[in-house]
Structure formats: C-alpha cells, structure tokens
Amino acid sequence: MLDGEEKLIKSAVGGDSSAFGALYDHYQPMIYRFVLVKVGRREEAEDLTHQVFLSAWQNIRRYKNLGHPFSSWLYQIARNQIVDYYRSKKSDITLDDGDSELFIPSAATDPVDISTKLAVEKVFAALRKLKPEYGEVIMLRFVEDASLRDAARILEKTEGAVKLMQHRAIKELRKILGDDTSKI
Amino acid sequence: MDLFEILKQFKTIKPDEAFAEKSKRAILASLPLKGPGIAGAFKAQRFIFRIIETGAALALAGFFIILITGVFPGASISPVRFSAIDPKNLRAEAQIIDAQINLASLNYSEPSLVVESTQKLVNAISGESGAAESSSAAANSSSSAVSIDQALEELSK
C-alpha cells in the first residue's frame, strides 16, 4: 500500500489529477503484469493497462472506499477489460497466438543473471498455459503478495476457495514445468 | 531455483518507461466523468415521479373498472338494508293496516248486519209467510229502534 494512499485517493476522487498520477505510478506496473500474463503480448498488455487507468480516472468519482484496497478496484477494472478484450478478439485468436509471441520480460535481464531470465521466461510460459483463474491467483498471491482477503475480493471468491485454488494452481504449474523447478 | 523465488522475480517486469509516461499524460489530460451529483438527483427524482405516475394510472384504471362493473373484486358487498324498507316489516305493517280497515268496516256495517240477521230470525220464528210483509214493515220500523241487546233477548226467549 502506498504511503498516504487514503489522502491521495480522496484528492483524486475530488478531481486532483496529480494525486491520481501518483496512484498511477504506484499501481501501473502491478496491473501491467497482471494483464500481461493474461494476454501474453507486450503491446496489447500496454494498451489494456492504459485502458484500465483511463477507465479508473474517468470513473474515479464513483469510487467508494468500502475498506478494500484501491488496488482491488483497479484489478476489477482490469479483469473486465480483459474479458472485453477476449470477447472482441475472439475470432482473431488462435491457439498458437499465445506461444508464438511470448513476451520476454526485458526488465528481468538488467538486475539478474541470464539463468534467472531463462527461468522467468519458462515459468511465464507455463503460467500462460494454466487456467485463467489459476494464473490470476498465482500472480496475486505469489507475485504481488496480496493477502487472502484481498485476493478473494479481487477474484470474487471466498478465502477458502482462493486457498484451494492457489494450491491447485501451484500443483498444476509444477506439473507443466515437469517437476524440475529446482533445476531451472 | 525455487518456483516461488522465480515468481518473485516477476516483480521486475515493468512496462516500457516511454509508454508509461505517454499513457499517464494522455490519461491525466482527460477529465474524470461527473459523479452522481445533480444528474443523479434528477435521475432519482424522475424515478420517483414515474413510480407515482404509474401508481396513479393503475389506481384510476381500477376505479373505472369498479365503476363500470359495479363489483368490487374479491369482496361481496350487499346493498344497505334500511329497517324502514325491509319487506318483512312492510308486510307486517300492511297486514296490521288491513286488519284495522276490516275492524273499521265492521263498525260501520255492524248495525245493518245485525238488522238483517234479526229479521231472518224473526221470520223463522214467526213462520208465517203472510205476515212477512207486516213483520218486515215492523222490522223496518223497528230496525232503527231495536238494538242488538233487545234482539238477543228476543232470540233467547
């Protein structure tokens, strides 16, 4: 959570664009990663992320603080955008599309060695093969460190269901990776 | 390397900085949509007005249906009964009036009836057909004088 987030949200709801800019800077990479795992292509992930924040800014006055983090609202918008994306692109997408243009996380190359980069690429590809909800739960719980409560809120499931789902997702991911994650 | 450690490395994935900056500028250049302020209040007002309008229309329609058919659905409403126009009472009253009329007519017709009966009795007693005329004349003359009591006394004799 961002320092002074409540104040920033209040200002943004009041129409303060700089406050929303600060929220954008903090949450944009997180939403981008979430979308990227779902769509697999960098350009489309960028476009969708842009749409998510544009929609968030345009509807910021409707935002109500119900005790959930601001990120859960953004994730909700992102999920809706992804659904719309797949609905509109349904006829264009083939089974090969996801794998043919897999995004290689360029940022991962800078601070880490090549073996880590390869491992990230492999897990990323495996994530894309998972059920969409499994990919989501892994991203939320193990990448973004979302609490069970927040993940349940974002995925619109109970905490128990999220627990079960994350267990199955990891099991499935290991299966796809061929149980050799210790080697990668 | 552990799977969870690899997943943590995903945090290093970030969008292109140039894109991020461009996107941010484009978003903030637009204005947020108006919230549920005045427009929302108008919407609520219109909604309430429509409910009232529909309710009034339904009530009017129901009223006219009742007015046309004269029947309240689901309710058996019988006409108001006034004791003054109750058929039983009316009949009873009519019977009383008839009886009074009979009695009144009795009073009026009593003397003539008595005279007739007396004359018949006298005729029967006398048994004389020849004297019928004289006795009838006498009866006629005495009809005004002979009272019922006297006639009865005569009969008893």
* Dist. CA A138–CA A81, nearest whole Å: 19
Output the average pLDDT for chain A: 84
> ipTM for the complex?
0.79
Residues 86-125 of chain A whose Cβ lies under 8 A from any Cβ of chain B: 105, 107-108, 110-112, 115-116, 119-120, 123-124
Q: For the residues B56-66, what does the mean pLDDT come to? A: 89
Shared-domain flag, residues A73 and A129: no
Residue-wise pLDDT for A100-137, tens only, equals: 444 455 544 455 578 888 888 899 999 989 999 999 99
Shared-domain flag, residues A12 and A89: yes
Beta carbons of A107 and B12 less than 8 Å apart: yes
Of B7, B28, B30, the CB nearest to A21: B28
Shared-domain flag, residues A6 and A50: yes
Mutate to test the interface with B, among A13, A61, A137 (most CBs of B within 10 A): A61
Please tell me the predicted confidence (pLDDT) of residue A95.
43
Q: Residue B95: count other Cβ atoms within 10 Å of its Cβ.
A: 10
Residues of B within 8 A of A20 (CB-CB) are 27-28
Residue A2 exposure: Cα atoms within 13 Å on the Cβ side: 20
Shared-domain flag, residues A1 and A79: yes
| CATH number of the domain that residue A98 is part of | 1.10.1740.10
Q: Which two tokens stand for residue B82?
A: 């006034």
User: Does B109 score more than 70 pLDDT?
Assistant: no
Please tell me the predicted confidence (pLDDT) of residue B21.
92
Q: Is residue A88 situated within a structural domain?
A: yes
Of A33, A54, A173, the CB nearest to B10: A33
Looking at the structure of chain A, the number of domains it has is: 2
% of chain A residues with pLDDT over 70: 84
Q: Is residue A182 situated within a structural domain?
A: no
Of A32, A111, A112, the CB nearest to B15: A32
* Dist. CA B84–CA A7, nearest whole Å: 83
Residue-wise pLDDT for B40-54, tens only, equals: 556 677 788 888 889
Shared-domain flag, residues A93 and A113: no
Shared-domain flag, residues A92 and A157: no
Please tell me the predicted confidence (pLDDT) of residue B144.
53
Shared-domain flag, residues A91 and A115: no
Q: Is residue A1 situated within a structural domain?
A: yes
Overall pTM > 0.80:
no
Q: Which of A103, A122, A151 is the last residue of a domain?
A: A103
Shared-domain flag, residues A26 and A94: yes
Tell me the Cα Rg of chain A: 17
Q: Which of A66, A88, A103 is the last residue of a domain?
A: A103
Size of interface A-B (CB pairs under 8 A): 111
Shared-domain flag, residues A83 and A142: no
* Dist. CA A115–CA B48, nearest whole Å: 66
Shared-domain flag, residues A89 and A157: no
- Domain span including residue A62: 1-103
Contact between A72 and A115 under an 8 Å Cβ cutoff? The reply is: no
User: A184: pLDDT confidence band, cut at 50, 70 and 90?
Assistant: very low
Q: Is residue A184 situated within a structural domain?
A: no
| Sequential DSSP letters for A42-66 | HHHHHHHHHHHHHHHHHTGGG----
Shared-domain flag, residues A98 and A112: no
Q: Which of A103, A126, A144 is the last residue of a domain?
A: A103
Residue-wise pLDDT for A130-161, tens only, equals: 999 999 999 999 999 999 999 999 899 999 99
Q: How far does B11 lie from chain A, in Å, by closest CA?
A: 6
With CA atoms as reference, the chain A residue closest to B8 would be: A143
User: Does B57 score more than 70 pLDDT?
Assistant: yes
User: Does A41 score more than 90 pLDDT?
Assistant: no
Residues of B within 8 A of A47 (CB-CB) are none
User: Does A65 score more than 60 pLDDT?
Assistant: yes
Classify each residue of B126-153 as buried b or exposed e, where b means 16 or more C-beta atoms within 10 Å of its C-beta: eeeeeeeeebeeebeebbeebeeeebee
Shared-domain flag, residues A14 and A60: yes
| CATH number of the domain that residue A156 is part of | 1.10.10.10
